[in-house]
Structure 1
Amino acid sequence: MRYSREHKLETHARIVKKASVRLREKGAHGVGVADLMKEAGLTHGGFYAHFDSRDALVIEAFGYAMDRGTERWRKVMEQTPPNKRFSTIVESYLTPLHRDDPGNGCAIPTLGAEIARESPKTRRAFAAKLEQMIDMIADQIPGVPRRAARKQAMATLATMMGAVVMSRIAGTGEFSDEILDAGREAVLGRAAPAKKPVSRKAAAAARQ
């Protein structure tokens, strides 16, 4: 059976979207091509009609995950006063909601260590997306020279990523929450307000 170009593009996009979730849940080497294709409702043999190699799918899936995170941040920023945008990014990222849903969360804490061991092509693609995220954070730091804002954005993302990784290792209890609080305090210079969780709408900035 011959399919239209539109059908093929829709199928391709569905594979990438599902792969982006599964890779964040299971890791770059925790799920095989056959599993990904089965989840997308396709046969293993149909894989090469859409991708030249497994690396090609991995790169697209990583890019999709990071683009979604950046786009969600952008939408939240549009609804947030300029003086609160930086803190909103931090507070939405360092939440139990983000910690407990790696499949729809930021790709950096879930896949960063694995990417460092991937091919140079994959690392370059990931690094380009990483720089875009850093630039977006830097854009939310007003009154600071661009070079200084970028350095602060790099330190912020590194701190947030590390806090999420550590909190996931710790599980979902008080110790894990304490790690998230410590990350927020390290970046913002203050502890999170007691019993005042970030809204689901804002927390979505850090997810998928």
Structure 2
Amino acid sequence: MKKWLIPVIIIALLAFGGYTWVKGFYNTGIQLNENVAESWGNVETAYQRRGDLIGNLVKTVQGAADFEKETLTSVIEARAKATSVNIDPSNITPEQLSQFNQVQGGLSGALKSLLVTVERYPDLKANQNFLKLQDELASTENQILTARTRFNEAIKPFNNHVKTFPNNILAGFFDFDGKPYFEAEAGTENAPDVEFDFGKKE
């Protein structure tokens, strides 16, 4: 073998190894990022379902002519704010998640106030549509929790992929930044309970 071939072969092997590494990093990053986007889509779907149910709940409650308008207005406004926040899953920032959490927490608080107020309306409490919507809301809260948990589960492998050495060298080149986890809003350890005991009297 000619001596000049040896460095050529070494360079070719290094180039092939580098190409394989870069290709593997990029393709894996894309796949993991798609998993994050899918998981975020499921989070948004769960929250959208809650928003739709709350809209139907408000319509049902509006049937009670003497129901407090201020309480209904606060729910309607909180729902409007919650549905106005949109997040691009490929570019999620901690600030965006915090804002999303804040408006959803505001909607949860308004919903809690609405359901507490309903206790003073026996006819409304016995309304079958209202009872059904309330049950569906309770189920949806569980779906939201599951969707948020799975979103965080999708974030972890992506962050591990782009933050560990030597992958972090390429991450900036391909604009693969680490993504924030969905954290509970302060005070959510006292989450609104949408399953009321209708036997209670205030």
Same fold (TM over 0.5): no
Taking structure 1 as the reference length, the TM-score comes to 0.28
